[in-house]
Protein backbone atom coordinates (compact mmCIF):
# COMPACT_ATOMS: atom_id res chain seq x y z
CA UNK A 1 0.00 0.00 0.00
CA UNK A 2 1.42 3.35 -1.04
CA UNK A 3 1.60 6.13 1.51
CA UNK A 4 -0.70 9.06 0.88
CA UNK A 5 1.48 11.74 2.47
CA UNK A 6 2.47 14.46 2.13
CA UNK A 7 -0.79 16.03 1.00
CA UNK A 8 -0.58 19.42 -0.68
CA UNK A 9 -3.55 21.78 -0.67
CA UNK A 10 -3.23 24.62 -3.14
CA UNK A 11 -5.75 27.46 -3.38
CA UNK A 12 -8.54 25.00 -2.56
CA UNK A 13 -12.05 26.23 -1.89
CA UNK A 14 -15.61 24.97 -1.56
CA UNK A 15 -18.68 26.97 -2.53
CA UNK A 16 -22.37 26.38 -2.06
CA UNK A 17 -25.03 28.50 -3.75
CA UNK A 18 -22.47 31.15 -4.52
CA UNK A 19 -21.20 31.34 -0.95
CA UNK A 20 -17.65 30.35 -0.06
CA UNK A 21 -17.80 27.78 2.75
CA UNK A 22 -14.06 27.32 3.01
CA UNK A 23 -11.01 28.67 1.25
CA UNK A 24 -8.90 29.56 -0.39
CA UNK A 25 -6.67 27.20 1.61
CA UNK A 26 -2.98 26.47 1.12
CA UNK A 27 -1.51 23.71 3.28
CA UNK A 28 0.98 20.90 3.30
CA UNK A 29 0.39 18.12 5.82
CA UNK A 30 2.89 15.43 6.71
CA UNK A 31 2.15 11.85 7.62
CA UNK A 32 2.69 11.84 11.38
CA UNK A 33 0.88 13.09 14.45
CA UNK A 34 -2.41 14.76 15.30
CA UNK A 35 -3.63 17.99 13.74
CA UNK A 36 -6.30 19.78 15.76
CA UNK A 37 -8.62 22.20 13.98
CA UNK A 38 -10.06 24.96 16.16
CA UNK A 39 -11.99 28.18 15.63
CA UNK A 40 -15.29 29.90 16.43
CA UNK A 41 -18.62 28.28 15.65
CA UNK A 42 -19.37 28.67 11.96
CA UNK A 43 -15.72 29.31 11.08
CA UNK A 44 -15.61 26.43 8.60
CA UNK A 45 -13.95 23.66 10.61
CA UNK A 46 -16.32 20.91 9.47
CA UNK A 47 -16.24 22.11 5.88
CA UNK A 48 -12.44 22.06 5.93
CA UNK A 49 -12.40 18.45 7.13
CA UNK A 50 -14.97 17.41 4.56
CA UNK A 51 -13.06 19.19 1.80
CA UNK A 52 -9.83 17.41 2.70
CA UNK A 53 -11.61 14.06 2.87
CA UNK A 54 -13.35 14.61 -0.45
CA UNK A 55 -16.95 14.69 0.82
CA UNK A 56 -17.31 18.24 -0.48
CA UNK A 57 -16.42 18.89 -4.09
CA UNK A 58 -13.78 21.51 -4.75
CA UNK A 59 -14.98 24.75 -6.27
CA UNK A 60 -11.41 25.74 -7.10
CA UNK A 61 -7.79 24.78 -6.50
CA UNK A 62 -6.55 21.25 -5.91
CA UNK A 63 -5.65 18.68 -3.27
CA UNK A 64 -2.74 16.44 -4.22
CA UNK A 65 -1.90 13.24 -2.34
CA UNK A 66 1.33 11.27 -2.68
CA UNK A 67 -0.69 8.54 -4.41
CA UNK A 68 -3.72 8.62 -6.75
CA UNK A 69 -6.72 10.32 -5.14
CA UNK A 70 -8.95 7.25 -5.37
CA UNK A 71 -6.30 5.17 -3.63
CA UNK A 72 -5.80 7.86 -0.98
CA UNK A 73 -9.51 7.95 -0.18
CA UNK A 74 -9.56 4.19 0.39
CA UNK A 75 -7.00 4.72 3.14
CA UNK A 76 -9.14 7.28 5.00
CA UNK A 77 -12.08 7.22 7.39
CA UNK A 78 -14.32 9.92 8.88
CA UNK A 79 -16.05 10.03 12.28
CA UNK A 80 -18.92 12.51 12.35
CA UNK A 81 -20.06 14.54 15.33
CA UNK A 82 -23.40 12.71 15.34
CA UNK A 83 -22.73 9.19 14.06
CA UNK A 84 -25.46 7.16 12.39
CA UNK A 85 -26.28 3.84 14.04
CA UNK A 86 -27.70 1.13 11.82
CA UNK A 87 -30.55 -0.98 13.19
CA UNK A 88 -28.21 -3.83 13.94
CA UNK A 89 -26.30 -5.07 16.95
CA UNK A 90 -23.15 -3.42 18.24
CA UNK A 91 -20.90 -6.11 16.76
CA UNK A 92 -22.70 -6.04 13.40
CA UNK A 93 -22.36 -2.25 13.22
CA UNK A 94 -18.62 -2.48 13.81
CA UNK A 95 -18.23 -5.33 11.31
CA UNK A 96 -20.18 -3.56 8.58
CA UNK A 97 -17.20 -1.90 6.79
CA UNK A 98 -15.46 -5.27 6.51
CA UNK A 99 -18.59 -6.90 5.13
CA UNK A 100 -18.79 -4.12 2.52
CA UNK A 101 -15.26 -5.10 1.51
CA UNK A 102 -16.38 -8.73 1.03
CA UNK A 103 -14.72 -10.06 4.18
CA UNK A 104 -16.34 -13.33 5.25
CA UNK A 105 -19.02 -12.88 7.90
CA UNK A 106 -17.36 -14.91 10.65
CA UNK A 107 -13.99 -13.27 10.08
CA UNK A 108 -15.59 -9.81 10.12
CA UNK A 109 -17.52 -10.55 13.32
CA UNK A 110 -14.40 -11.92 15.00
CA UNK A 111 -12.45 -8.76 14.18
CA UNK A 112 -15.40 -6.60 15.26
CA UNK A 113 -15.53 -8.42 18.59
CA UNK A 114 -11.89 -7.55 19.23
CA UNK A 115 -12.59 -3.88 18.52
CA UNK A 116 -15.75 -3.90 20.63
CA UNK A 117 -13.80 -5.20 23.60
CA UNK A 118 -11.09 -2.63 22.97
CA UNK A 119 -13.59 0.23 23.23
CA UNK A 120 -15.46 -1.21 26.21
CA UNK A 121 -18.48 -2.65 24.40
CA UNK A 122 -17.60 -6.32 24.62
CA UNK A 123 -19.36 -9.14 26.46
CA UNK A 124 -23.13 -8.71 26.80
CA UNK A 125 -22.98 -5.38 24.93
CA UNK A 126 -22.02 -7.09 21.66
CA UNK A 127 -25.59 -8.06 20.84
CA UNK A 128 -27.26 -4.89 22.10
CA UNK A 129 -29.11 -2.85 19.46
CA UNK A 130 -26.75 -0.02 18.55
CA UNK A 131 -29.63 2.49 18.43
CA UNK A 132 -30.09 2.04 22.20
CA UNK A 133 -26.54 3.07 23.09
CA UNK A 134 -25.74 6.25 25.02
CA UNK A 135 -24.06 9.18 23.29
CA UNK A 136 -20.62 8.19 24.51
CA UNK A 137 -21.13 4.55 23.54
CA UNK A 138 -22.30 5.56 20.07
CA UNK A 139 -19.21 7.68 19.57
CA UNK A 140 -16.93 4.82 20.66
CA UNK A 141 -18.75 2.47 18.30
CA UNK A 142 -18.35 4.94 15.44
CA UNK A 143 -14.65 5.16 16.21
CA UNK A 144 -14.26 1.39 16.20
CA UNK A 145 -16.27 1.14 12.96
CA UNK A 146 -13.88 3.60 11.34
CA UNK A 147 -10.70 2.05 12.73
CA UNK A 148 -11.56 -1.56 11.90
CA UNK A 149 -10.58 -0.74 8.30
CA UNK A 150 -7.09 0.24 9.54
CA UNK A 151 -7.13 3.67 7.85
CA UNK A 152 -3.89 5.53 7.36
CA UNK A 153 -5.74 8.79 8.00
CA UNK A 154 -8.70 9.41 10.29
CA UNK A 155 -10.81 12.58 10.27
CA UNK A 156 -12.88 13.37 13.37
CA UNK A 157 -15.43 16.17 13.55
CA UNK A 158 -15.80 17.18 17.22
CA UNK A 159 -16.16 13.55 18.36
CA UNK A 160 -16.53 14.51 22.04
CA UNK A 161 -19.10 17.28 21.66
CA UNK A 162 -21.86 16.90 24.28
CA UNK A 163 -20.10 13.96 25.98
CA UNK A 164 -19.42 13.94 29.69
CA UNK A 165 -15.92 13.96 31.16
CA UNK A 166 -15.62 10.20 31.53
CA UNK A 167 -16.71 9.46 27.96
CA UNK A 168 -14.41 12.20 26.67
CA UNK A 169 -11.45 10.74 28.55
CA UNK A 170 -12.17 7.26 27.16
CA UNK A 171 -12.34 8.59 23.59
CA UNK A 172 -9.09 10.53 24.09
CA UNK A 173 -7.33 7.41 25.39
CA UNK A 174 -8.35 5.51 22.27
CA UNK A 175 -7.22 8.35 20.01
CA UNK A 176 -3.86 8.60 21.79
CA UNK A 177 -3.28 4.86 21.28
CA UNK A 178 -4.32 5.07 17.64
CA UNK A 179 -2.02 8.03 16.95
CA UNK A 180 0.87 6.25 18.68
CA UNK A 181 0.33 3.25 16.41
CA UNK A 182 0.88 5.46 13.34
CA UNK A 183 -2.60 6.51 12.22
CA UNK A 184 -2.66 10.16 11.16
CA UNK A 185 -5.41 12.15 12.89
CA UNK A 186 -7.06 15.40 11.77
CA UNK A 187 -9.69 16.44 14.27
CA UNK A 188 -11.83 19.47 15.03
CA UNK A 189 -12.77 20.38 18.59
CA UNK A 190 -14.24 23.27 20.55
CA UNK A 191 -12.56 22.03 23.75
CA UNK A 192 -9.28 23.90 24.25
CA UNK A 193 -8.19 21.55 27.03
CA UNK A 194 -8.63 18.65 24.65
CA UNK A 195 -6.78 20.51 21.92
CA UNK A 196 -3.80 21.03 24.20
CA UNK A 197 -3.83 17.39 25.33
CA UNK A 198 -3.95 15.88 21.86
CA UNK A 199 -2.48 18.32 19.34
CA UNK A 200 0.90 18.05 17.69
CA UNK A 201 -0.06 20.95 15.43
CA UNK A 202 -2.95 23.40 15.34
CA UNK A 203 -4.98 24.85 12.49
CA UNK A 204 -6.89 27.95 13.59
CA UNK A 205 -9.77 28.50 11.18
CA UNK A 206 -11.61 31.79 10.76
CA UNK A 207 -14.08 32.82 8.03
CA UNK A 208 -13.38 29.59 6.14
CA UNK A 209 -9.63 30.20 5.96
CA UNK A 210 -6.68 28.82 7.88
CA UNK A 211 -5.62 31.91 9.79
CA UNK A 212 -2.79 30.13 11.63
CA UNK A 213 -1.04 26.80 11.24
CA UNK A 214 1.78 25.98 13.63
CA UNK A 215 3.15 23.41 16.10
CA UNK A 216 0.83 23.11 19.08
CA UNK A 217 3.37 24.18 21.67
CA UNK A 218 4.18 27.38 19.77
CA UNK A 219 0.52 28.15 19.08
CA UNK A 220 -0.65 27.85 22.67
CA UNK A 221 2.42 29.71 23.98
CA UNK A 222 1.93 32.67 21.65
CA UNK A 223 -0.56 32.85 18.77
CA UNK A 224 0.58 35.06 15.92
CA UNK A 225 -2.77 36.75 15.16
CA UNK A 226 -4.98 38.99 17.28
CA UNK A 227 -7.97 36.79 16.47
CA UNK A 228 -6.29 33.62 17.72
CA UNK A 229 -5.16 35.35 20.89
CA UNK A 230 -8.69 36.60 21.50
CA UNK A 231 -10.12 33.15 20.82
CA UNK A 232 -7.79 31.50 23.34
CA UNK A 233 -8.74 34.17 25.87
CA UNK A 234 -12.39 33.20 25.47
CA UNK A 235 -13.39 36.42 23.73
CA UNK A 236 -15.97 36.55 20.96
CA UNK A 237 -14.23 36.46 17.58
CA UNK A 238 -16.14 37.59 14.50
What tens digit of pLDDT does each residue of 11-20 get? 999 998 888 9
CA 193 to chain centre: 17
Are 30 and 4 within 8 A, CB to CB?
no
Range of the domain at 29: 7-82+153-232
Q: Is 97 inside any structural domain?
A: no
Q: Is 117 inside any structural domain?
A: no
Q: Is 123 inside any structural domain?
A: no
Indicate the helix (H) or strand (E) that contains 166. helix 165-180
3-state class (DSSP) for residue 78: strand
Domains held by the chain: number: 1
Model confidence pTM above 0.75 = yes
Q: Is the pLDDT of residue 1 over 80?
A: no
Are 184 and 106 within 8 A, CB to CB?
no
pLDDT band at 2 (very low <50, low <70, confident <90, very high): low
What tens digit of pLDDT does each residue of 103-116 get? 999 999 999 999 99
Residues 6+ away with beta carbon under 8 Å from 226: none
Q: How far is CA 170 from CA 8, 35, 120, 159, in A?
A: 33, 19, 9, 12
Residue 36 or residue 118, greater confidence: 36
What tens digit of pLDDT does each residue of 38-92 get? 999 999 999 999 999 999 999 999 999 999 999 999 999 999 988 999 999 999 9
Q: Is 71 inside any structural domain?
A: yes
CATH label of the domain that carries residue 44: 3.40.50.300
Amino acid sequence: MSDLFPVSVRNASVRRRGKVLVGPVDLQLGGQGTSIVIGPNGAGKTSLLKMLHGILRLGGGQISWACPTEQAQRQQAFVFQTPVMMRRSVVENIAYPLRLNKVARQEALAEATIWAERIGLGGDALQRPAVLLSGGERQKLALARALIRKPRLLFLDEPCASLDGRATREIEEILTEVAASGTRLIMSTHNMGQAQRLADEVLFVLHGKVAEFSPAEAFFAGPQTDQARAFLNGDIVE
